[in-house]
Structure 1
Amino acid sequence: MNKTVHKLRPSDYWRIGEHESWFSDMADKGLHLKKMGIHFAKFVKGEPKKMRYRIDVSIMKKLTPEQIQMYEESGWDYVTSYSFFHVFSSPKELDAPELHTDPAEQSYTLKELDKKLALNAVMAVVAMILIIGMLSAIWFLDGTPTLVIVEGTAIQQTILAIFLGYSAYQSLQASISIRALRRNLIEGKTIDHHAPWKKHYRLHSTIAFLFTTVVGLSAIIPFVQLIKMDTKTLPEASLDLPIVRLADVEENPALVRG
């Protein structure tokens, strides 16, 4: 049985050229793409081989058998799909024709995805504005932000809001990037199938590590608060404290010390 290897994806899913280049570089090292996930790609370890990879975009998340067969007849084998992106591979020596020879025609495959990502971006931005409004009310409505910090009532919500804010930023970036790619294709500019991916890979890995660490620590905060939480009763003896005790201002004999 061939050994499988999981690797963090080099960049965001909409960077088509970078993923194609990454898949080819991995095949050169003997790691052949098997499956794609949200954050990781699964490879099967084998012999190093010169491979070409191409990603086709379709608003349908599953390709029909007829579509797959049509690509196979052109020399492209179906590998896997992730979201609206479908990956095909072909040995370099086969010199198979490109999936799309006309960039302007290829731009139409991005039309529906462009609309969908634009809608997602608008919804994400609106949701983020509402979250910022609610957090602002928690922190500043009573004019006691210092008390909020001391009590720790909004720290976890703020960390979650930062995470959601980054997700909204990614949605907006995806929409802008796909629209720019579609515009380039309409102008006759082809996708760079050998786009450099290492720079974004380092950035993507760093962000993934930081977010995993922050989210993990934020999950511990409620338990730390429970452990640290303690209620103590002031002693009856008069202490040199800068406070006024209730007993000093209230002389009602019916009051009982709790």
Structure 2
Amino acid sequence: MKRRIKKKFLWLDVWNIEEQEAWFSDMASQGWKLISTDGWYAKFEKCEPEKVNYRCDVFKLKDGGGNNPIELYKEAGWEYVASRRLVHIFRTNEDANIVEIHTDPNEQAETLSILKKNITRMGMAVVFLSMLIILITLATIRIDPVGNYLNNKFMEVIVVMLASMYISISMITGIIHMSKLMRKLKSGSLFEHRIEYKRKINKNRIMGIVVNSITLLWVISNFGMLIGIITKDRFPSIPEKDIPVIRMSDIMDETTYIKKVDPYKNKGDRLNYYIVNSSLLVPKQHELNESVEVTGVMWEDKSGIYSPSIYSYAYETRGEWVAKGLAKELLKKYDYYAEEGYRYVQDSEFDDLWIGKEEVRCTFIGRKRENVYRVVYYGIEPVEKIIELVLDKVENQ
């Protein structure tokens, strides 16, 4: 007859001594006998329902022979089942006339001190490393603040912080729990072998599922983004239809110019493209890059054929507070486009407007309610005209 095996996740931590004993005994009463454990799972074999006492003891296995506790317990009638690091699990039938593993609370407290020292040492190391990871993550997020808005960079911080805090809190909880167990033993009370354990399992399960689900969603999101980057066209062609950003045909008659040729066009037309993206904070992102040449017209300094170009961006955010933050971060990130700095314009149809102007390059960043616009234009048209064209585009949307 084929053995029926069931694996159940170990939602009880290694320091939940009483709860583990109660859970294993309860599983036996339901017809499932514990046969092994690993780092994450307990494995049970189907059997006849029986009343079984499970006991957990804490000790270090000695190298070589001589006074091996497991062998001593076997000789005393206890069946060795499995181990979880320093915690070793034994069982015997409830009606068997076998002496308890521990009858002296003080003696058991001494054995628990081994586990407490181990958990304390690991806990302090985990808390220190978690704090270090959180501080480093918080520092790295300031490297590209714009990425928090446009590329969900902040999600990495949230996931790392949640995972680190979860592990740290779990280890601190273990240290506190071990202290309570030792106080209980030193007061003269032995363990409760049939303690209520389901609430502890449910609590750990909920916390674990929440943290793991967030981490999994983040991993899937990053994987999907990576696949999208690899598979999609990096420089899509500019469509003929109307788009939410200004383009060269909004500035000048398109019959007067031709597209500038990208010398590396085999890798995509990096001089003329239109990209649409999305993120949690900025669900609609539009980016246009367009470079043209006007045949028969020279730059004013006679340096070559007049070839204006434009970088045009439009961002629709989740709300005004997001738009305000994004605008300020864009100012910081792209301040090099305005060598003399951006000038804030008090009276404007935009809610906020910053302008940077040079000889043949003008740039501005404007916010209108929850929308943010950024334009960098190389050409002879004045910045005021470019701003007016953007406002027309906003009003017609």
Distance in structure 1 (CA, Å) of the matches to 2:146 and 2:62 = 49
CA–CA separation in structure 1 for the residues paired with 2:194 and 2:222:
47
What is the one-letter code of the residue matched to 2:39?
Answer: I
Which residue matches 1:115?
117
Distance 2:91 2:64 in 1: 15
Which residue does 2:90 correspond to in 1?
88
After TM superposition, give the deviation of residue 163 of structure 1 in Å: 1.2
Contact residue 83 and residue 89 of structure 2 kept, 8 A: yes
Instruction: Go from structure 1 to structure 2 and tell me whether the alpha carbon gap of 1:9 and 1:62 turns closer, same or farther (over 3 Å shift).
Output: farther
Aligned mates of 2:236, 2:11 — CA distance in 1: 53
Write out aligned runs for 1:182-221 (5 A): 182-221=182-221
Which residue of the partner structure matches residue 14 of structure 1? 15
Secondary structure of 1:245 counterpart: strand
CA 207–62 in structure 1, closer or farther in 2 if over 3 Å, else same: farther
Percent identity of paired positions between Structure 1 and Structure 2: 27
Distance 1:178 1:215 in 2: 29
Q: Contact 1:61–1:84 (CA<8 Å) still a contact in 2?
A: no
Deviates most, 7-16 or 77-86: 7-16
Report the alpha carbon displacement of residue 187 of structure 1 after superposing the two structures with TM. 1.9
Q: CA deviation at 1:161?
A: 3.1
Counterpart amino acid of residue 40 in structure 2: H
Q: CA deviation at 1:61?
A: 8.5
Q: How does 1:1-258 map to 2 (within 5 A)?
A: 1-60=2-61, 66-139=68-141, 141=142, 145=145, 147-226=147-226, 227=228, 230-231=234-235, 235-238=247-250, 243-248=375-380
Instruction: Please state how far the C-alpha of 1:196 moved relative to its aligned partner.
Output: 0.4
Counterpart Cα distance in 2 of 1:11 and 1:146? 42
Structure 1: 4+ residue segments shifted above 6 A:
61-65
When normalised by structure 2's length, the TM-score is: 0.57
Q: TM-score, normalised by structure 1?
A: 0.84
Equivalent residues of 1:3, 1:45 under 8 A apart: yes
Is contact 1:10–1:201 with CA below 8 Å preserved after alignment? yes
After TM superposition, give the deviation of residue 182 of structure 1 in Å: 1.7
Paired with 1:26 and 1:239, the residues of 2 have a C-alpha distance of 76
**1:63 Cα deviation (Å)?**
10
1:19-39: per-residue Cα shift (whole Å, max 9, x none)? Answer: 101111110111000111233
- Inter-partner Cα distance in structure 2 for 1:150 and 1:249: 30
More strand by share: 2
Query: Can you give the 5+ residue segments of structure 2 that lack an aligned partner in the other structure?
Result: 239-246, 253-311, 313-372, 383-397
Q: Which residue of structure 2 aligns with residue 254 of structure 1? A: none
CA RMSD, aligned part only?
Answer: 2.8
1:102, CA displacement in angstroms? 0.3
Query: 1:62-86 CA distances to partner (integer Å, 9 max, x unpaired)?
Result: 8968422321232211111111110
Query: How far apart, in 1, do the equivalents of 2:197 and 2:95 lie?
Result: 24
Q: In the alignment, is the contact (CA less than 8 A) between 1:159 and 1:215 conserved in 2?
A: yes
Letter in 1 for 2:379: A
8 Å CA contact 1:36, 1:81 repeated in 2: yes
CA distance in 1, matches of 2:64, 2:177: 24
| SS of residue paired to 1:109 | helix
The residue that corresponds to 2:332 in the other structure is: none
CA 1:248–1:114: 2 relative to 1, 3 Å: farther
State the aligned residue count: 248
The range that moved more, 13-22 or 52-61, is: 52-61
Larger radius of gyration: 2
- Highest RCO, 1 vs 2 (Cα 8 Å, sep ≥ 6): 1
What are the ranges of 5 or more consecutive residues in structure 1 without an aligned counterpart? Answer: 251-258
**Structure showing the higher helix proportion among its residues:** 1
**Higher deviation after alignment, 9-18 or 19-28:** 9-18
Question: Conserved in 1, the CA contact under 8 Å of 2:184 and 2:190?
Answer: yes
